[in-house]
């Protein structure tokens, strides 16, 4: 009897095939010119897939999600500090016009890296990885059902 599709995705060759497809898609997507319809579509496709999973099928069933309890303010203080510094710098940069060389915004700093296709590719793969976490969790949950 053949393997169910979800099980196949979690097999060794399945993971390799998924990795190659994702890398190919990322290479294509990051080679597109910005502000074009194709660039918006290339970003929109994964957003649509993950959005559907989030809206309809992404139940918090994994052990990590089930064990997710409310977090105290003290535990997230370092993150609040980082967010506060970032918001201050971003606000200052935007107040100076957004393209200031003295106080650049985060976008301006990242734009220097985005000039390289390899950097865009790595960043896009990281972005896909973060966003696809719920999709992977859903597949894993379905796959583990015997």
Partner 1 sequence: MVVSLVWLALLAAGLLWELYCNLVNGRWVSLTRVGAVIARNRAGRLLLVAAWAFAGWHLFARYTLPR
Tell me whether residue 11 or residue 117 sits nearer to partner 1 (CB atom): 117
Minimum separation from the CB atom of position 53 to partner 1 (A): 9
Can you spell out the DSSP letters for the chain? -PPPHHHHHTSHHHHHHHHHHHHHHHHHHTTSPTTSHHHHHHHHHHHHHHHHIIIII--S-SHHHHT-PPPPTGGGHHHHHHHHHHHHHHHHHHHTTS--SSS--HHHHHHHHHTSHHHHHHHHHHHHHHHTHHHHHHHHHHHH--
Tell me whether residue 17 or residue 60 sits nearer to partner 1 (CB atom): 60
Minimum separation from the CB atom of position 9 to partner 1 (A): 21
Tell me whether residue 17 or residue 47 sits nearer to partner 1 (CB atom): 47
Minimum separation from the CB atom of position 24 to partner 1 (A): 16
Minimum separation from the CB atom of position 36 to partner 1 (A): 8
- Please state the separation of Cα 39 from the chain's center in Å: 16
Note the residues at the interface with partner 1 (CB under 8 A). 29-30, 34-35, 39-40, 42-43, 46-47, 50-51, 54-55, 58, 60, 64-65, 68-72, 74-76, 78-79, 82, 85-86, 89, 93, 102-104, 106-112, 114-115, 120, 123-124, 127, 130-131, 134
């Amino acid at each position: 009897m053949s393997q169910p599709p979800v099980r196949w995705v979690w097999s060794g060759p399945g993971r390799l095939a998924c990795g190659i497809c994702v890398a190919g898609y990322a290479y294509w997507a990051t080679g597109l010119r910005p502000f074009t319809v194709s660039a918006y579509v290339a970003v929109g496709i994964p957003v649509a897939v993950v959005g559907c999973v989030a809206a309809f099928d992404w139940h918090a069933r994994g052990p990590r999600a089930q064990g997710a309890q409310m977090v105290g303010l003290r535990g997230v203080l370092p993150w609040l500090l980082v967010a506060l510094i970032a918001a201050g710098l971003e606000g200052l940069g935007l107040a100076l016009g957004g393209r200031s060389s003295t106080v650049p915004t985060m976008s301006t700093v990242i734009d220097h890296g985005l000039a390289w296709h390899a950097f865009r590719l790595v960043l896009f793969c990281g972005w896909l990885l973060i966003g696809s976490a719920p999709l992977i969790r859903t597949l894993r949950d379905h796959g583990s059902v015997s």
